[in-house]
């Protein structure tokens, strides 16, 4: 089929290829600099490209290892009972390594592999003109033409074929014609269905889909609809910014991993604007800059983000820092990341994005300048996002700092959330201690249910019931109000307070405080009990956990945690699992305090992190209803009220 029907004016494929090549970056210059100044990154890329060349890919469902996906890939094969397997296979993420390896080595086998796979995909995945009129639901189903895959391919991987191969003899006029035809058909569909799928612009899928539309319009201004596509996409990405990035900082879904992804996607839009000569609005740029802070706040002092909701405990705050630098020329977020991570880790992750730098030499030079330095900042240690109902409180910006993230949002914003009202994640002394379990998978199975459930989080349950009903991986029952209603820095202690009504008529308030930058105090006040059982769960990143001297001791080679509570009741140690990447989990321990109660009850818990073998001695005494005292270096009095917790020391 001739591409002339897609073009504004009748020009030959020869002219179109010349025009395209004039818009491409000089990958020969970039690759030479990267090879000489980031040799370890180049070697790693080539090693991964070799595996991709053999058809060995790691995808959701493969258990965290690579498996043979076919040569060419079997694009329509559904494996492991996991839709994400097929979707992500059809994003062609492995092409990035193959194409970069081609530019680094000039070995044509890598480029030829990509061209062959692309042409095979075009032949295998039929796109007809009447598909644009299919029911909207079709574009959310499990096949290669789901709307999100249309967007991701066309902003992330297919344009790299142009950049790395566009000047080569592998990218012939015939290949260009087939490329343009396939891309045009995909974007024409996406332009129609995406705004219907996401009329509020309040989901990360819409952002990526709009990036696909924008990128295609910029690379091919000769297409009939390119100007309208460009104007639409710029306007839609601006709408995404204000619909998704909250005023307090943090993407609306409340998942740090997706937030870091959004810092990449919104930042990439700015990179495209710089490269192709247009601008996003000043309010867009300000909102983006303010939201970069959340990437750092949600980063544990150990350098892994808190895996709240559908998140992984990964280091992708680095990615937010990279695109903050690309968009704003500001090293703040990379500098703060470097305070909490090994510089080699910073370089490794940043190197994955170096190909998108408009000035590679300056970027690499600024990265190297971070080595051996401590980045100082004046950012507050108490953070409150009122939209997400998250509080993040820390003692400082170093690896030994104490830090927790506390969340209570009900009803939820979307189904990436877990059933984790008033749960928290706590890190101290270089060790993750009380942990959110993470994502593990998206499959509709028992693993998904377990990782989403309330009793896999560090929170309080009534009669061991979830806070609201789990129906399936993407379906919950109704939810009642839950919120964080106060966050304050009161000098020697920082406090966050929350309440939820999902157990009505029972009401649960939780107050959590970092005291003297040394320990955490948690007060749970439960009202309206009538012979109900109450469970308090703490999901610990420890396997050595035991009762000892009036408390619970969790021990490791890095640091230890002592848990003291005003009322233990019946104590159980239950198996747990913590997941840092898809389909992979490590063993952990869940501590469960349980008892049966009437009326109103207040439980006080003190978490004391420490190093060495000497266990801290803490004895909690309830001096009257809701008022407790204990000693830890000093004497502390804790007065738990309906909507407050006041701590005094002497």
**129-161 confidence digits (pLDDT tens):** 999 999 999 999 999 999 999 999 999 999 999
- Dump pLDDT digits (tens) for 554-564: 999 999 999 99
- Which residues, in sequence order, are CB contacts of 463 under 8 Å at separation 6+? 532, 533
Query: Model confidence at 126, in pLDDT bands (50, 70, 90)?
Result: very high
Q: What is the average pLDDT across 357-372?
A: 94
Whether the link from the prior residue into 462 is cis, omega within 30° of 0, is: no
Give pLDDT, residue 1.
Answer: 56
Is 570 a residue whose pLDDT tops 90?
yes
Task: Supply angle C-alpha 539, 385, 460, rounded to 5.
Answer: 30
Q: In which element (H, E) is residue 489 found? A: strand 482-489
In Å, how far are 332, 604, 619, 643, 649 from 630, measured between CA atoms? 40, 10, 6, 21, 10
Cα–Cα dist 287/295, whole Å: 14
Q: Mean per-residue pLDDT for 88-103?
A: 98
Question: How confident is the model at residue 2, as a pLDDT?
Answer: 80
Provide mean pLDDT across the span 94-112.
Answer: 98
State the Cα–Cα distance between residues 332 and 309, nearest whole angstrom. 27
Q: Which two tokens stand for residue 497?
A: 């307070």
Q: What is the pLDDT of residue 323?
A: 98
Per-residue confidence (pLDDT) for residue 642, from 0 to 100: 83
Q: Taking CA 480 as the corner, what is the angle to CA 478 and CA 481, rounded to the nearest 5 degrees?
A: 145
List, for residues 161-190, the tens digit of each pLDDT value: 999 999 999 999 999 999 999 999 999 999
Mean pLDDT of the chain: 96
Query: Does the structure show a pLDDT above 90 at 497?
Result: yes
Q: Which tokens in the block code for residue 363?
A: 């970027």
Q: Distance between CA 587 and CA 572 in Å, rounded?
A: 16
State the pLDDT confidence band at 414, using cuts at 50, 70 and 90.
Answer: confident
Eight-state DSSP code of residue 355: G
Is pLDDT at 637 greater than 80 in this prediction? yes
User: Cβ(495)–Cβ(648) under 8 Å?
Assistant: no
**Does position 621 have pLDDT exceeding 80, yes or no?**
yes
159: its two tokens:
């344009």
Q: Which long-range contacts (CB under 8 A, 24 or more apart) does 23-30 make?
A: 23/219, 24/162, 24/163, 24/166, 24/167, 25/163, 27/103, 27/163, 27/164, 27/167, 28/103, 28/167, 30/103, 30/355, 30/360
Q: Is the distance from CB of 600 to CB of 607 less than 8 angstroms?
A: no
Write out the two tokens for 584: 């992979």
In this prediction, residue 373 carries a pLDDT of 85
Mean pLDDT of 278-307: 97
The whole-number pLDDT of residue 130 equals 94
Provide mean pLDDT across the span 81-106: 97
pLDDT value for 412: 94
- CA distance to 133, 174, 375, 605, per residue, from 219 (Å): 26, 18, 38, 58
Token pair, residue 8, equals 């504004």
Q: How far is CA 393 from the centre of its chain?
A: 19
Phi–psi pair at 408, nearest 5 degrees: -160, 90
- CB contact burial 364-380 (16+ within 10 A = b; e otherwise): beebeebeeeebeeeee
**HEC profile for 616-634?**
CCCCCEEEECCEEEEEECE
Amino acid 550: pLDDT: 81
Q: How far is CA 539 from CA 142, 177, 592, in A?
A: 34, 55, 9
Task: List the beta bridge partners of residue 217.
Answer: none
Average pLDDT over residues 291-296: 97
């Amino acid at each position: 089929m001739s591409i002339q029907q897609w073009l504004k004016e009748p020009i030959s494929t020869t002219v179109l290829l010349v025009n395209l090549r004039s818009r491409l970056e000089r990958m020969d210059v970039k690759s030479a600099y990267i090879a000489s100044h980031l040799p370890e990154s180049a070697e790693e890329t080539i090693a991964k490209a070799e595996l991709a060349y053999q058809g060995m890919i790691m995808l959701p469902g493969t258990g965290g290892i690579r498996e043979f996906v076919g040569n060419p890939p079997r694009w329509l094969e559904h494996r492991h009972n996991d839709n994400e397997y097929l979707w992500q296979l059809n994003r062609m993420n492995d092409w990035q390594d193959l194409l970069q390896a081609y530019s680094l080595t000039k070995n044509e086998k890598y480029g030829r592999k990509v061209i062959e796979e692309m042409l095979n995909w075009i032949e295998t995945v039929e796109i007809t003109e009447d598909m644009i009129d299919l029911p909207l639901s079709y574009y959310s189903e499990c096949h290669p033409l789901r709307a999100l895959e249309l967007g991701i391919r066309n902003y992330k991987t297919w344009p790299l074929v142009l950049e790395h191969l566009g000047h080569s003899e592998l990218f012939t006029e015939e290949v260009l014609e087939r490329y343009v035809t396939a891309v045009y058909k995909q974007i024409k569909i996406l332009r129609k269905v995406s705004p219907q799928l996401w009329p509020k612009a309040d989901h990360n899928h819409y952002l990526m889909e709009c990036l696909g539309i924008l990128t295609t319009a910029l690379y091919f201004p000769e297409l009939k609809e390119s100007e309208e596509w460009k104007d639409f996409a710029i306007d839609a990405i601006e709408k995404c910014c204000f619909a998704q990035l909250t005023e307090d900082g943090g993407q609306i879904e409340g998942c740090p991993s997706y937030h870091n992804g959004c810092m990449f996607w919104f930042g990439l839009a700015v990179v495209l604007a710089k490269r192709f000569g247009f601008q996003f609005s000043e309010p867009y740029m300000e909102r983006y800059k303010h939201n970069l802070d959340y990437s750092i706040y949600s980063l544990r002092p150990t350098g892994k983000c808190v895996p709240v909701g559908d998140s992984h405990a990964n280091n992708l705050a680095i990615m937010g820092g990279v695109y903050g630098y690309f968009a704003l020329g500001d090293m703040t977020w990379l500098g703060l990341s470097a305070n909490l991570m090994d510089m080699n880790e910073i370089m490794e992750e940043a190197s994955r994005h170096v190909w998108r730098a408009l000035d590679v030499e300056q970027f690499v030079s600024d990265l190297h300048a971070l080595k051996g330095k401590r980045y100082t900042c004046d950012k507050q240690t108490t953070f409150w996002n009122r939209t997400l109902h998250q509080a993040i409180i820390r003692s400082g910006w170093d690896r030994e700092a104490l830090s927790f993230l506390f969340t209570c949002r009900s009803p939820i914003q979307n189904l990436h959330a877990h059933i984790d009202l008033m749960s928290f994640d706590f890190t101290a002394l270089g060790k993750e201690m009380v942990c959110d379990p993470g994502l593990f998978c998206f499959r509709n199975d028992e693993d998904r249910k377990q990782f989403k459930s309330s009793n896999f989080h560090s929170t309080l349950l009534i009669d061991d019931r979830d806070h609201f009903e789990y129906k399936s991986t993407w379906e919950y029952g109704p939810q009642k109000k839950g919120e964080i209603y106060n966050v304050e820095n009161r000098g020697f202690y920082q406090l966050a307070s929350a309440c939820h009504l999902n157990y009505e008529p029972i009401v649960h308030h939780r107050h959590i405080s970092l005291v003297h930058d040394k320990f955490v105090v948690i007060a749970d006040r439960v009202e309206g009990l009538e012979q109900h059982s109450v469970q308090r769960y703490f999901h610990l990143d420890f396997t050595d956990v035991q009762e000892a001297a009036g408390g619970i001791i969790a021990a490791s080679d890095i640091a230890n945690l002592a848990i003291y509570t005003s009322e233990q009741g019946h104590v159980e140690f239950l198996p747990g699992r913590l997941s840092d990447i898809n389909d992979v989990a490590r063993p952990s321990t869940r501590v469960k305090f349980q008892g049966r109660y009437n009326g109103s009850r207040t439980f006080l818990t003190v978490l004391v992190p420490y190093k060495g073998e000497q266990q801290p001695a803490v004895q909690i005494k309830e001096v009257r209803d809701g008022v407790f005292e204990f000693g830890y270096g000093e004497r502390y009095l804790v007065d738990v009220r309906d909507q407050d917790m006041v701590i005094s020391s002497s």
